[in-house]
Amino acid sequence: MNRYDRELAEGILFTDFYQLSMAQLYFAREIHEIPAQFDFFFRSYPDYHGHKAGFCINAGMESLLNWMGKSRFDDLSLNYLRSHKKNDGKPFFSEDFLNWLKDNGNFDSISMQAITEGRVVHPNVPLVTVQGPLIMTQILESALLNHLNFQILIATKASRLKEAGRGQLVLEFGMRRGPHTGTNAATRAAMIGGADFSSNTGMSYLLGYPPKGTHAHSMVQAFMALGYGELGAFEAYAEIYPDDCLLLVDTINTLESGIPNAIKVFEKLRKQGHEPVGIRLDSGDLAYLSIKAAKMLNCAGFDKTRIVLSNQLDEMVIWQILTQIEEEAPKYGVDPDRLIKRMIYGVGTSLVTSKGNSSLDGVYKMTAVYNNGIWIPAFKISDSPEKTINPGYKKVWRIYDDRFIAVADLLSLYDENPTDWDEVLLRHPAEIDRKRILKKQSVSVIELLQKDILKEGKLLYNMPDLSDIRQICESDLKMIDPGVKRIVNPHIYHVSLTEKLWNLKHSMLNKSTTNNGYIV
Amino acid sequence: MNRYDRELAEGILFTDFYQLSMAQLYFAREIHEIPAQFDFFFRSYPDYHGHKAGFCINAGMESLLNWMGKSRFDDLSLNYLRSHKKNDGKPFFSEDFLNWLKDNGNFDSISMQAITEGRVVHPNVPLVTVQGPLIMTQILESALLNHLNFQILIATKASRLKEAGRGQLVLEFGMRRGPHTGTNAATRAAMIGGADFSSNTGMSYLLGYPPKGTHAHSMVQAFMALGYGELGAFEAYAEIYPDDCLLLVDTINTLESGIPNAIKVFEKLRKQGHEPVGIRLDSGDLAYLSIKAAKMLNCAGFDKTRIVLSNQLDEMVIWQILTQIEEEAPKYGVDPDRLIKRMIYGVGTSLVTSKGNSSLDGVYKMTAVYNNGIWIPAFKISDSPEKTINPGYKKVWRIYDDRFIAVADLLSLYDENPTDWDEVLLRHPAEIDRKRILKKQSVSVIELLQKDILKEGKLLYNMPDLSDIRQICESDLKMIDPGVKRIVNPHIYHVSLTEKLWNLKHSMLNKSTTNNGYIV
């Protein structure tokens, strides 16, 4: 193998090969420059084996745009394609096609409208609408899906962890079990969705946040190996980091050694005018140990010192720990609310791999083709009505009720404007009898969700900082119903069609039975 | 956010921050250059919800060595560290420490022995033994775990898919749902473990294999939108790729439209002197459709044309499809064995995300410290006996029986040599009463598994090509018992200790109860 060449492996050839075999076919048939439209949407919320999300957090657009901006067919990539052979031994790609790619094989022709990062998003809603020449909209598919599916998946998991932890700090610790360099995208997405900080050093600096972390068991182990003992290790740590002293107390025995040693060090620190930060528990019964640790720390006068939990946490484990603390802490004379408010969660593997559901089912489907001067809706039926796509050039609206809580996302045809209407009819995408009418007086805001992002390759959208994206996310989460936010058995959020779009979809569906399934 | 800077985010700062806070502590206490030894091992086979692996495939070393070779503290990374503040607002890192990192912050001091890529590996066996100054062995931890855990996980899944598919071609199609750029590592690992080709274009070229893939539904959709129909799409494809013609037949209706249209095109191709490659089925009841497709193709004289399956395949789905084909095909006059031999599996999401188990639990534990001229075993007990580490500087042996089948991996002290012994006593790592004696006459080979990889940063091992690694893997798989290879309820492979190592471990364990758990 050649040594890993990032430019080649992560550039324009970071794609499924069939995009290129199709591209050459479009070129050969001279249909490559026909304008086409593709929608990106996911079909279902992540289902984590026994508990399921009721919403997702949108993420990945900035990474995608960075990739699109720098990825184009250059000599390096073209030479590899030139070497590719057909089964008859002749070059797979024609020189005409390769020359076209050399001059035009970039994303400067692409226009894009999208729901921005950090927003709460739902199934079957076009999160991104891509328009451009058929050939480049096709070539974009694999990278677009790769960037967006993964980051939405991880941002969503982070949001669930933050929800389970009742808003306390969540730290992303996942690098050691993360997916190679994809870990960096996971760190970013986690911080969009709910993680407050990360142990990932380089990525944290790039994102403008200080990386977090103190020490591992191996530090204690090393000091013990040299005869200093656990207390010696803690003292050394406190000496060099007196105002940043957070000690891992479970290397030997949490209650008999770790916490008593930590308290000795904390008392010394305080005498020297420093306030200790906290302790970390990384094994054992974390609910029970949290209560006992709080009790011991409280008795020693450290009732604000933080308690960091780690070790295979996920949203269900955090929920269970908090439930148990609420039930058990009073029996030990510990106030559960005060304890819960001093806790911090270090979450690794389950966050960066979205444990229980390791992929989002996002797809990129052709929904219109520009022919004879107009966008003609394109369609693909499916055996299951839920999987039949919503055709055409559309707009996406979010409807808020009089409490300013989002009650539905509404897909309309592009020329419709529900903000003008006296009442909004919401139709279920598949079922004819399921509809709902919202009267104007019960609606506070109807928001157009997609923004203009790219116009023929030109960036129209000012990429926000991570801190702004995090605020967008927080703000959106305040505007969804608590029932939708439940981490188990969430309330179903409505994604609906306007009457016109419903009629278009179902008339195409009816015609398709007599026309081999496909219509434009 | 700054735009993604790969050098920063994927270089030496691709690490958990605590490695650096510990490193500075070691430096401040002048123990940073004490030689330390860490073992990398995983604790359990992946468990995929209801089915569990009985072995893993080793992978990731080349990626790790590439990373180690190019990652060092340079001005860019040091400047970020210089900007990091303590809670009191002062610089977190001292200039002395940063200067030391500038001169010495690289992996040129690291020695490494390891089991090489492609080998079958088992829990609790040191796959990598790292030796070097405490500070750099510590800093290596996060990246080492990141590179190895993920690639072993994916290589193992690939091996299971290949096993389920009974050796037929497996194609890796996972980019669209893969973990961002981590997808490239997944592609490489998948091809080590069992995938024969990948759709990942850039990575395939780097690995020296042609990427695979033909066309998507969108190609048919585009041609239909322009009035050519599915047949027109197929004809266009066949015209440009007459010797590489593999057609996706389920865009409209597999049996009524797709396969009949494909056969028309295939007949035309054959008249022109070309042999069609095959069809791909991507939806519906793949077992039933495979049988019907084979029947239709056979009747038309295309009895060798390949049938590619895709759509949410994993090892259980493939197994189920093949079982059903064996039962049902004869009823349709189709020979199941011949059908199975013409099938190809395109596997995406479940392969690159290791569906059902998205992480390997590999850890990196201090096992010895060099003090007063000798390696002193380091130890850490655990509440659960299985998690107590195997201490000291060890060797790893694989014992083959008289059929040349591997029957056990044996961990010994470094100065032991079981090849000299008349009989080999295998002791269970945790349980005192479980032991087994292998007589010399029942043992054919005792193989030393770890190779010398690095000696103080110098590469001693000639990195094999991917094709060689694949052969190593195939060859190892022939030398494990079929029971161990079962994809459900595999037979347990023995990982054992020699008597001497067992005695060392358990004497340390006994002493630890009177000495706060930690001993060196």
User: Residue B121, CB half-sphere, CA atoms under 13 Å: how many?
Assistant: 34
The better pLDDT of the pair A372, A51 is held by: A51
If you write DSSP's letter for every residue of A20-82 in order, what string do you get?
HHHHHHHHHTT-TTSEEEEEEE-SS--B-SS-B-S-EE---HHHHHHHHHH----HHHHHHHH
In this prediction, residue A351 carries a pLDDT of: 98
Q: Which of A378, A443, A383 is nearest to A410 (CA)?
A: A443
Pick from A87-101, A350-364, B262-276, B366-380: least confident: B366-380
Quote the CA–CA distance of B91 and B503 in Å, as a whole number. 48
Q: Residue B55 pLDDT > 70, yes or no?
A: yes
Q: What does the pLDDT average to over B19-37?
A: 97
Q: Compute the mean pLDDT over every residue in chain B, rounded to the nearest whole number.
A: 94
A219 touches chain B (CB under 8 A): yes
Cβ contact, residue pair A10, B184, below 8 Å: yes
Considering only CB atoms, A215 lies closest to which of B18, B212, B213, namely B18
Cβ contact, residue pair B2, A208, below 8 Å: yes
B242 close to B212: Cβ distance less than 8 angstroms:
no
Whether this prediction's pTM lies above 0.80 is answered by: yes
Chain B stretch 91-120, residues whose beta carbon is closer than 8 A to a beta carbon of chain A: 92
Quote the CA–CA distance of B294 and B292 in Å, as a whole number. 5
Q: What is the ipTM of this complex?
A: 0.96
Residues of B in contact with A257 (CB under 8 A): 516-517
> Residue A384 — very low, low, confident or very high, per pLDDT cuts 50/70/90?
low
Q: What does the pLDDT average to over B424-444?
A: 90
Q: Domain B157-352, what architecture?
A: Alpha-Beta Barrel (3.20)
B195 close to B158: Cβ distance less than 8 angstroms:
yes
> Residue B3 — very low, low, confident or very high, per pLDDT cuts 50/70/90?
low
In this prediction, residue A517 carries a pLDDT of: 46
| pLDDT tens, position by position, B67-119 | 999 999 999 999 999 999 999 999 999 999 999 999 999 999 999 999 999 99
> Residue B512 — very low, low, confident or very high, per pLDDT cuts 50/70/90?
low
Q: What does the pLDDT average to over A51-57?
A: 97
Q: Is A269 exposed, middle or buried (0-12, 13-18, 19+ CB in 10 A)?
A: buried
Q: Domain A160-352, what architecture?
A: Alpha-Beta Barrel (3.20)
Quote the CA–CA distance of B142 and B170 in Å, as a whole number. 32
Considering only CB atoms, B87 lies closest to which of A176, A244, A355, namely A244
What is the distance in angstroms between the Cα of B376 and the nearest Cα belonging to chain A?
9
The better pLDDT of the pair B380, B153 is held by: B153
Q: What does the pLDDT average to over A480-484?
A: 96
| 3-state SS track over B168-222 | CCEEECCHHHCCCCHHHHHHHHHHHHCCCEECEHHHHHHHCCCCCCCCCHHHHHH
Q: Compute the mean pLDDT over every residue in chain A, rounded to the nearest whole number.
A: 94
A253 touches chain B (CB under 8 A): yes
Q: What does the pLDDT average to over B303-331?
A: 97
Q: Which of A426, A377, A364 is nearest to A397 (CA)?
A: A426
Between vectors from CA A355 to CA A354 and to CA A359, what angle results, nearest 5°? 50
> Residue B433 — very low, low, confident or very high, per pLDDT cuts 50/70/90?
confident
A277 close to B87: Cβ distance less than 8 angstroms:
yes
| pLDDT tens, position by position, B155-184 | 999 999 999 999 999 999 999 999 999 999
CA nearest to A208 within chain B: B1
**Token pair for A193:** 């969705």
> Residue B384 — very low, low, confident or very high, per pLDDT cuts 50/70/90?
low
What is the distance in angstroms between the Cα of A200 and the nearest Cα belonging to chain B?
5
Q: What does the pLDDT average to over A227-243?
A: 96
A86 touches chain B (CB under 8 A): yes
Q: What does the pLDDT average to over A274-299?
A: 97
Residues of A in contact with B378 (CB under 8 A): 221, 225
If you write DSSP's letter for every residue of A307-334 in order, what string do you get?
EEE-SS--HHHHHHHHHHHHHHGGGGT-
Chain A stretch 393-452, residues whose beta carbon is closer than 8 A to a beta carbon of chain B: none
Q: Residue A164 pLDDT > 90, yes or no?
A: yes
Q: Residue A513 pLDDT > 60, yes or no?
A: no
Q: What does the pLDDT average to over B472-478?
A: 98
In this prediction, residue B518 carries a pLDDT of: 47
Residues in chain A: 520
Q: Residue A211 pLDDT > 80, yes or no?
A: yes
Q: Looking up tokens 């026309």, which residue turns up?
A: A515
Residues of A in contact with B184 (CB under 8 A): 4, 9-10, 14, 180-181
> Residue A371 — very low, low, confident or very high, per pLDDT cuts 50/70/90?
confident
Residues of A in contact with B517 (CB under 8 A): 251-253, 257
Residues of B in contact with A311 (CB under 8 A): none
DSSP B2: P
Residues of B in contact with A222 (CB under 8 A): 26, 31, 34, 36, 134, 366, 369
In this prediction, residue B382 carries a pLDDT of: 64
> Residue B221 — very low, low, confident or very high, per pLDDT cuts 50/70/90?
confident
Cβ contact, residue pair A26, B217, below 8 Å: no
B355 touches chain A (CB under 8 A): yes
**Token pair for A113:** 């409208």
| pLDDT tens, position by position, A411-442 | 999 999 999 999 999 999 888 888 899 998 99
Residues of B in contact with A134 (CB under 8 A): 222
Considering only CB atoms, B178 lies closest to which of A2, A146, A355, namely A146
Q: Residue A306 pLDDT > 50, yes or no?
A: yes
> Residue B375 — very low, low, confident or very high, per pLDDT cuts 50/70/90?
confident
**Token pair for A339:** 């304890």
Chain B stretch 473-512, residues whose beta carbon is closer than 8 A to a beta carbon of chain A: none
B59 close to B192: Cβ distance less than 8 angstroms:
yes
Considering only CB atoms, A236 lies closest to which of B15, B25, B284, namely B25
Cβ contact, residue pair A230, B85, below 8 Å: no
Cβ contact, residue pair B177, A353, below 8 Å: no
> Residue A7 — very low, low, confident or very high, per pLDDT cuts 50/70/90?
confident
Q: Which 3 state secondary structure label does DSSP give B343? A: strand
Considering only CB atoms, B182 lies closest to which of A180, A257, A517, namely A180
Q: How many CB atoms lie within 10 A of CB A448?
A: 14
Residues of A in contact with B15 (CB under 8 A): 175, 201-202
What is the distance in angstroms between the Cα of B51 and the nearest Cα belonging to chain A?
15
Cβ contact, residue pair B371, A226, below 8 Å: yes
Considering only CB atoms, B217 lies closest to which of A218, A229, A380, namely A380
Cβ contact, residue pair B221, A173, below 8 Å: no
In this prediction, residue A430 carries a pLDDT of: 82
Q: What does the pLDDT average to over B427-444?
A: 89
Q: What does the pLDDT average to over B263-268?
A: 98
Cβ contact, residue pair B185, A183, below 8 Å: no
| pLDDT tens, position by position, A215-233 | 999 999 889 888 899 999 9
Of all residues in chain B, what percent carry a pLDDT higher than 90?
86
Residues of B in contact with A11 (CB under 8 A): 202
